[in-house]
Structure 1
């Protein structure tokens, strides 16, 4: 049935375009003769509304507003990138490739048939919990980055907000309710069987905005309505007391102005997913063309780091496009009479933080970590030791390692991609007096090298698959003795001081959030790997 509908749609569009071109030729010929009138009169917009930039924002706290997220709140009306995010992050790379290959066919269809095809490819056989994860942890970042600032200010000025959209409700509901404080979301519902989507619409079909608005509010007229200049949007905003449209000039003026962080509805501190870019058709095509070369490049970079000495490995990896920027005191030596090693306290961006710090310092280091895959342990060019989350046992382990040499610790306990620092565990402050804070940051253009719900063993590979991954490392001076526990400070005071010092060096913000908060939000668990070695009952 799907193939028949696709064939029928293609034939319909081809015939329509052919007839339209023929009619245009006849009309042009008639105009040349001078006697024949045009075959069709130009379409007139049934409504004419002012731009939303003309809306007065004062005194709207008790009023109600309705709009669509696409074409109104977002800068672009294209829904393809967000379907691609669901296909890639919630489905698989093969589903994403199929969606990309369908793009030329989508150009032939009208908007409704285009949506049907994208929904079928993206959702057929997709688990509901995977869509839930993408809607909660992946899509909000991309939606918020593409908000139209002026449209959002109008939207946020109202006290009660309703969004109507023809795209599947599950794709926008988490963002709108969790970040935009929307009272209700009315969207197209999808058909499901058990825990899976079928890729088909529910019996109600596509959401018709003006009908949904009448059904939801009855005879009551909303105060404000915002929509695009399309006929469908004009119908539903005409039911409001005040109606405004987002025209092309408004969207164009807001395209290059990114939403300032201090004006964002809610800061995105945690997000998941592999893609670091908005997957438009051209950007997605570039990614698939890059993948084979990127995989080869990642294997080469890993091999160089494992086999060759630090200085040679650093030189060769820079030739492959890896950008390592280092500044600060690179040779802090221990002044401890007991000859303990130096404890490097780092911000945590990826699993490769200790590796790049070792390359920057030009000497071997030992890294402690709470969770590390077997593959990461095998390919690590430095010594790695697992911690158990038992404070006493972990303290003894770190103390023993410090007596053997220099040690690297990331007290956040997990990675964070955004410019925020999570709460620092104070355990490290109780174990060493020779503490050197290290500010670390990364930059990627295609793939993120961290994940909360995916396979952690692929994290280093994805990071090194980027065309030009960048690492910024600043080794700050050794912490003065009077600011350590040996100088009378408590371990919490030391940890908080170092967190603020590193945040200032990077331009980040300090938070009290923890590893548990991150995994509860992104993966729905506490981020603790179950012990498979426990005795069976």
Structure 2
């Protein structure tokens, strides 16, 4: 009887492609997430990201082992039971602050690459937008509000201990599916039902039947919405994985780890005995591609100050690659460096103190000794944006060579905010065939330096623009502090909402 009712309801609902988006500015819409606003119907990859990035590799492996049970429960016994299994193994014992940080720093990037174009056309046209989902609200709320422009987000609520840890169980009324979705919509809207409802599966039909118009999103291939078309661009994201960990991708990644980590150690440590002139040959025969473009600047004459390479910040190994690409020894100037990075660095490193006068004196002294590489963004950014440049370097040299760097990786990012930064070089080299490109731009003419009458800020902004144009990136006024506060908060927790600055 229930199946007959579901079948009759499905026949009653038109497909979303037949829904007009015209004149919806005053309308209210309620939409499901997985399979509706997102093209993907499975939430497993996002639970795996929470388990890995918020918890540990061991937790991710355990979740992957039990995921077939969740799949069987979901498809053949109970949708609720399948979701509860995923929640338990992904969440149980995790700090809620860690889950929230992953929801802000990792998940939005992957969610935003999978937004359903037909659903988005209707959802974005409505004046008031609500998301209702079986996923834990803590996972999806940040993305739904910032990128989709949702005014409210209703999802499954998780149990939390007094100490701020997730128990792995869910709060009353349980997983937000079927009748729970219907009751939530009825409670929120009462006698004034929403104009539009969107769903994709039988358990969505109850809440959809309350709406004045309801449309079903069929399971078929459609284009994803370009990320720039969403409500807010993603500038910062974190996490080690490059690709969404679908079951197949997750399996291949886990199988690669026993090969990839020893390979990364060999690539890092094996390059140490070689001179900078011969490192590119070593990289070539170990599967690392180094691409050098532009003209290498000439070596400084004896007694002259060294060249200051001003480099975009893609990974922790940027100065190493600049040194190798230029064929000379370069000192790397950084605000902080881990013990392990210092041990495996083939070039000299120097940590600044954040005391402006002392740092300026130290940089001048280092330039008198030879070439220097500095990353004035202060931190890495994976998206095609450049962060605001510190102007300190511009006051200290008139031999400035901008260097545009970029990377291409397929499995692991060589940067992190929340993880152990000392492992960044190893994660970069753990990719099967990592690619690093170094592009030397022309040395700044004297009239574009402080010596030529420009202010330090003007010089920094000019170099930022040159590098952005060379890479096809966009300049921003975001800083290192903005990145860290947005991703994890100053105390490691989710910070309060604040307005962000744009140039």
User: What TM bracket, shorter-length normalisation?
Assistant: over 0.9
Counterpart of 2:458 in structure 1 is: 493
Q: Give the 5 Å matches for 1:6-85.
A: 44-47=7-10, 48-85=12-49
Counterpart of 1:364 in structure 2 is: 329
1:221 equivalenced with 2:193 (yes/no):
yes
Mapped partners of 2:443, 2:329: distance in 1: 19
Q: Residues 339-388 of structure 1: CA distance to partner in whole angstroms, max 9, x if unpaired?
A: 11001000000110010111111111001001111111111000000011
Mapped partners of 1:213, 1:41: distance in 2: 24
Report if aligned partners of 1:517, 1:526 keep a CA contact under 8 Å in 2: no
Q: Give the stretch that moved more between structures: 302-311 or 353-362.
A: 302-311
Residue ranges of structure 2 left out of the alignment (5+ in a row): 493-503
Instruction: Indicate the SS of the match to 1:493.
Output: helix
Instruction: Indicate the SS of the match to 2:14.
Output: coil
Report if aligned partners of 2:283, 2:290 keep a CA contact under 8 Å in 1: no
Mapped partners of 1:45, 1:346: distance in 2: 62
Counterpart of 1:450 in structure 2 is: 415
Mapped partners of 1:380, 1:187: distance in 2: 47
- In structure 2, relative to structure 1, the CA distance for the partners of 1:217 and 1:360 (3 Å cut) is same
Mapped partners of 1:112, 1:339: distance in 2: 72
Q: Residues 184-221 of structure 1: CA distance to partner in whole angstroms, max 9, x if unpaired?
A: 11111111212111111113212221111001111211
Counterpart of 1:7 in structure 2 is: none
Alpha-carbon distance, 1:180 to partner: 2.0
Instruction: Indicate the SS of the match to 1:452.
Output: coil
Q: Residues 419-475 of structure 1: CA distance to partner in whole angstroms, max 9, x if unpaired?
A: 100011111111101110000011111111111121111111111111111111100
2:216 corresponds to which of 245, 261, 265: 245
Mapped partners of 1:107, 1:432: distance in 2: 61
Tell me how large the CA RMSD over aligned residues is: 1.7
Q: Give the 5 Å matches for 1:124-143.
A: 124-143=92-111
Q: Give the stretch that moved more between structures: 470-479 or 43-52.
A: 43-52
Alpha-carbon distance, 1:259 to partner: 3.0
Counterpart of 1:25 in structure 2 is: none
1:89 equivalenced with 2:40 (yes/no):
no
Mapped partners of 1:360, 1:441: distance in 2: 13
Mapped partners of 2:67, 2:335: distance in 1: 43
1:310 equivalenced with 2:310 (yes/no):
no
Residue ranges of structure 1 left out of the alignment (5+ in a row): 1-39, 528-537
Structure possessing the higher radius of gyration over alpha carbons: 1
Mapped partners of 1:465, 1:434: distance in 2: 36
Mapped partners of 2:326, 2:8: distance in 1: 67
Alpha-carbon distance, 1:338 to partner: 6.0
Report if aligned partners of 1:332, 1:478 keep a CA contact under 8 Å in 2: no
Instruction: Indicate the SS of the match to 1:276.
Output: coil
Mapped partners of 2:102, 2:5: distance in 1: 43
Report if aligned partners of 1:334, 1:434 keep a CA contact under 8 Å in 2: no
Mapped partners of 2:6, 2:341: distance in 1: 62
Counterpart of 1:15 in structure 2 is: none
Report if aligned partners of 1:103, 1:281 keep a CA contact under 8 Å in 2: no
Instruction: Indicate the SS of the match to 1:486.
Output: coil
1:483 corresponds to which of 438, 448, 452: 448
* Alignment: residue pair count: 481
Mapped partners of 1:472, 1:392: distance in 2: 34
Q: Give the stretch that moved more between structures: 346-355 or 42-51.
A: 42-51
Counterpart of 2:183 in structure 1 is: 211
Superposition TM-score, scaled by structure 2 size: 0.93
2:154 corresponds to which of 183, 186, 195: 186
Mapped partners of 1:403, 1:174: distance in 2: 49
1:434 equivalenced with 2:403 (yes/no):
no
Report if aligned partners of 1:429, 1:495 keep a CA contact under 8 Å in 2: yes
Report if aligned partners of 2:117, 2:222 keep a CA contact under 8 Å in 1: no
2:207 corresponds to which of 219, 236, 244: 236
Report if aligned partners of 1:304, 1:313 keep a CA contact under 8 Å in 2: no
Counterpart of 1:276 in structure 2 is: 242
Mapped partners of 1:382, 1:408: distance in 2: 11
Instruction: Indicate the SS of the match to 2:21.
Output: coil
Mapped partners of 2:143, 2:6: distance in 1: 36
1:330 corresponds to which of 280, 290, 296: 296
Counterpart of 2:287 in structure 1 is: 321
